[in-house]
Amino acid sequence: MNKMVRWIIGGAAFFLACLVLYLKLNPPLASDGYGWSSEQPGLVTVELQNEGFHGVKLKKVLVNEGGRPCKVDLGVSRSSALIGIFAIKEEIEGISFHPIDEYEIEPKLSREEVIELEELDNRSTIRHYGVAVDHCKKVDSVTVKYMYFGFPYKKEIKIERMK
C-alpha cells in the first residue's frame, strides 16, 4: 500500500509539473492589431484576445518600456465592431470603456458562437477586448501585465506606424 501511495503522489506531482510548464510556455494573451492617432501620437488602441481556456485578469499597462501612461482603459465591444481609435473619438453603440481590472478577458469565442450571437442579435456577450492608452509622449510600445491561473505574464506590443 505504501508503494501505491508513492506512485499516486509521484504521478500527481508529475502531472502538476507538466501543467505548470504548459501554462508558462503557452501564454494566452494575443494581439491581432492596434491603432494610433496621427494628430495625437500618444493615443493608441491595442486589440487583445484570450487564446486560452480560462479568464485573463489585466493588472497593469505600461508604455515605452516601463513608463506609466496618463490614462488607460479596457475597451469592450458587445457588437461586431473592434476596439479601434474610431471608438475613442466617437461614441459607438456596443463599445464601452472601463478600468482595466473591471472585466476579465474571457476566452475567444468560436466562429459558431459568433454566428449564433449575430443571428440572435445578442448584445449582452462581450465579443472583443482592447486597451486604450493615452500618454503625453509618442507611444512606441505597450506592455500588458496580466494574471492567468494565478501565474504572472506580460505581453509586449510594438507600435509600428506607417509613414
Q: What is the pLDDT of residue 84?
A: 80
**Residue 35 has which C-alpha cell?**
491603432
Which residues lie across from 105 on neighbouring strands?
Answer: 56
Q: Kindly report whether the global pTM for this prediction surpasses the value 0.75.
A: yes
What is the rounded distance in angstroms from the CA atom of residue 67 to the CA atom of residue 160?
18
Instruction: Please state the φ and ψ torsions of residue 99, each to the nearest 5 degrees.
Output: -60, 150
Task: Go through 65-96 and write b for each residue having 16 or more CB atoms within 10 A of its CB, e for each that does not.
Answer: eeeebeebbbbbbbbeebbbbebbeeeeeebb
Of the pLDDT bands very low, low, confident and very high (cuts 50, 70, 90), residue 46 is very high
